Structure 1
Amino acid sequence: MSDRQKGVIGALKMYWPKASVRFCARHIYANFSTKYSGQKMRKLFWKASKTGDKYEFKKSLQDIGSIHPQAMAYLAAIEPCHWSRHAFDNSIKCDHVTNNMTEAFNNMLKDFRARTYLGLMEYIRRMVMSRFQLRKEECSKWGNGIPPTVNKKIKENSVECRILRTLHSGQGKYEMLGMNRAYTANLNDKTCECGQMQVSGVPCCHALAGIRHHFGVNGSQCTLEEYIDPALSNAAYLRTYDCMIRPIPDLCVWGDHVGAPIQPPPLKRKPGRPKLLRKRESTEKPKAARSGSVVCGKCRLPGHNSRTCKAEGSSVETKKTSKKNPVVTEDESAASSSKSSKKRQRLQ
């Protein structure tokens, strides 16, 4: 999964020419929206990116072309195998169209990105080492059932399959009639016309409707495991985290470097203050500002502070002045003077 930064595409072709490369759809839309914006254009773009059906993909592009012909040409210039699910390699069993996992990993580095290369690599090693062990312990508790993430997807798809009308034609082949169109599914081949089952490896809503018809609504999870790709099983998850990243002694006990010392590249400081935060795209939501209104400390009214307050008198000032210079009546002054005179007589 690539964000198509400078040099990335060329390096992938040079060092991994046979790799299945995907482009982050969010970054594609960020560049696309600078020329062709609009809420309707946005919905059609993501529909074309997330659909596993070739017909729906072409229809979405045609709808985009009806709004702006050049927008359709812009997307047609990018190979669908890089950003649309319907053209992904079905052997990978991953339906991600964005690089959110990479961005999440990058966000975990936090302040360590400003450290030296060696300090950053040591932090990544320790983080991955502990995370692998935690994942391994979690996977061992699952037993032989369906993994929680896969089970969650199945529950979401099972809600949608309730409105489908199932027609069985024999040999594991079904036709599902929905609200807008019909889809065909083959349970023996684990394929569906919508394409979601082939890409993700998890039965889609149409396949689940056929499975329910074949095994009954109260079918056990052992029945569903037959239609889930082996790459998404508990055993596959355990094999993923089976490897161990061994701990390394501290840097102070490492041996001396043999050979010429490695020098860092020459540092050329750019003018201005160094930027730590990444640049946000035009389509991204800005960082949430502080909520609430400002209340004046003098007049207690919202919308301004005590410095810009234009009120003549205020409750706070009167309270402060009353403590410093209290107002004394004639009766209170006479009583206080009599008390003081009595104290003088006693002392004498």
Structure 2
Amino acid sequence: MCARHIYGNIRKLHPNKPQLKKLFWSIVESPNEADYKARDPRLVAGLTFLLHHVVEDALNNNSESYNRTLEKARAMPLVEMLETMRRLAMKRIDLRKKIVKDYKGKFSLKVTKMIAFETKYRKNCKSIPGPTGEFEVSEDGIRYAVDMRAKTCSCRRWDLTGIPCRHALRVVLDQKKRYKTDNLVSDWYLTSKWQHQYSDSIKPVRGIKFWIPSGESTIQAPPREISKGHKKKPQQRMKGVNKSPKKGKKVTGHNRVMHCSRCGSTEHSCTNCSNDGVPCKPRPPKKQKTTTSHDEVAVDPGEGPSQT
């Protein structure tokens, strides 16, 4: 279930509570049981994820993005809808195939970004070697057990994502001769896996012109209803409390020439004008809207109620 949809339902029941959003997402992002209970164990969190899935995403943005692409196809008849979905999938696979072909790294971009992010915080950690392949790593007074052979850590970030956490990276830094970061990343992030995923595509289908006639009666599609009036815009998602609304364009003073209200010079303003005795020119009055009184409105003699 998508965590964003859960938060949307909770926000309907408890509106105008900006702290609820921060609390909710801190619980969702809790990777281990200790952090989970320290916040509020009444909501869904990363603790409920299965470890062999190697994913920590609590949202379904991928499916929602694809559903938005199929928004027009859903309004079509069944066969035309399926054909449109097939062609969209073929284009999507071909686009991803070109991106993967030009990528030269050993792992995906997500691995590179996460390792770079966790590397910034490994300097705050200290490791103590234990039995073979096991280490005790401390960070901010909290100790974690790291098993380099099983590729696990007490923080469970390595277990959930398949990417070494800051505690495992600290062990790699202290034990450079024994461990390498590339050997600790899950194989599901390899570029070869990524390329294999988009190596094949959907086979093309011949058009109706080349179909073998069956001799049966032809089924005609029902006529489409022409909608009247203006086209309705798709409903946009409501912005959260902490998100800024759309702002209009600011009025700038570009290409605007200022004049002194005393002498009319463009080199200075009236506050810096040397003509102290000259009074400032009065500003022109603002234009007022002209309204016609009720008595001045001419009435056509033919109008009005008829006489009996």
TM-score bracket for the superposition, by shorter chain length: 0.5 to 0.7
1:239 aligned partner, one-letter code = H
My pick for the range that moved more, 230-239 or 252-261, is 252-261
Q: Which runs of structure 2 are paired with 1:210-225 in the superposition (5 Å)?
A: 210-215=171-176, 223-225=180-182
Residues 257 and 31 (structure 1), Cα distance of their counterparts in 2 relative to 1, 3 Å cut: farther
Displacement after TM superposition at 1:287 (Å): 6.7
Displacement after TM superposition at 1:130 (Å): 2.9
> Is the aligned partner of 1:101 residue 2:62?
yes
Displacement after TM superposition at 1:200 (Å): 1.0
Assess if the C-alpha contact under 8 Å between 1:165 and 1:177 holds in 2. Answer: yes
Displacement after TM superposition at 1:215 (Å): 1.4
CA deviations on 1:77-128 (whole Å, 9 max, x unpaired) are xxx4xxx222211111111101111222233346555444444433332232
SS in 2 for 1:226: helix
- Aligned partners of 1:252, 1:281: CA distance in 2, in Å? 46
Displacement after TM superposition at 1:292 (Å): 4.0
Residues 164 and 247 (structure 1), Cα distance of their counterparts in 2 relative to 1, 3 Å cut: same
- Aligned partners of 2:219, 2:60: CA distance in 1, in Å? 33
Matched residue, 2:249: 291
2:287 aligned partner, one-letter code = A
SS in 1 for 2:140: coil
Which of 107, 132, 150 is equivalent to 2:111?
150
- Aligned partners of 1:260, 1:287: CA distance in 2, in Å? 57
Q: Which runs of structure 2 are paired with 1:101-250 in the superposition (5 Å)?
A: 101-109=62-70, 111-142=72-103, 145-179=106-140, 181-215=142-176, 223-250=180-207
> Is the aligned partner of 1:27 residue 2:5?
yes
Matched residue, 2:52: 91
CA deviations on 1:55-81 (whole Å, 9 max, x unpaired) are 11122116xxxxxxxxx4xx3xxxx4x
Residues 262 and 273 (structure 1), Cα distance of their counterparts in 2 relative to 1, 3 Å cut: farther
SS in 1 for 2:184: coil
Residues 311 and 199 (structure 1), Cα distance of their counterparts in 2 relative to 1, 3 Å cut: same
Displacement after TM superposition at 1:282 (Å): 6.7
Matched residue, 2:25: 46
1:149 aligned partner, one-letter code = K
SS in 2 for 1:95: coil
**Equivalent residue pairs, number:** 255
Residues 141 and 312 (structure 1), Cα distance of their counterparts in 2 relative to 1, 3 Å cut: closer
Residues 269 and 199 (structure 1), Cα distance of their counterparts in 2 relative to 1, 3 Å cut: farther
Normalising by structure 2, report the TM-score.
0.68
Displacement after TM superposition at 1:250 (Å): 3.1
Residues 58 and 290 (structure 1), Cα distance of their counterparts in 2 relative to 1, 3 Å cut: same
Residues 262 and 232 (structure 1), Cα distance of their counterparts in 2 relative to 1, 3 Å cut: farther
- Aligned partners of 2:170, 2:132: CA distance in 1, in Å? 15
Displacement after TM superposition at 1:283 (Å): 3.3
Q: Which runs of structure 2 are paired with 1:328-347 in the superposition (5 Å)?
A: none
Displacement after TM superposition at 1:152 (Å): 1.8
CA RMSD of aligned residues (A): 3.8
Residues 263 and 148 (structure 1), Cα distance of their counterparts in 2 relative to 1, 3 Å cut: same
- Aligned partners of 1:260, 1:191: CA distance in 2, in Å? 64
SS in 2 for 1:136: helix
CA deviations on 1:114-170 (whole Å, 9 max, x unpaired) are 444444433332232233234334434445722222222211111121221222223
Matched residue, 1:13: none
Displacement after TM superposition at 1:240 (Å): 1.6
Assess if the C-alpha contact under 8 Å between 2:73 and 2:85 holds in 1. Answer: no
| Consecutive unaligned residues in structure 2, runs of 5 or more | 252-284, 290-308
- Aligned partners of 1:199, 1:262: CA distance in 2, in Å? 52
Matched residue, 2:237: 280
- Aligned partners of 1:104, 1:114: CA distance in 2, in Å? 17
Assess if the C-alpha contact under 8 Å between 1:30 and 1:283 holds in 2. Answer: no
Displacement after TM superposition at 1:182 (Å): 2.4
Of all paired residues, the percent bearing the same amino acid is: 23
- Aligned partners of 2:52, 2:215: CA distance in 1, in Å? 45
Q: Which has the higher helix share?
A: 1
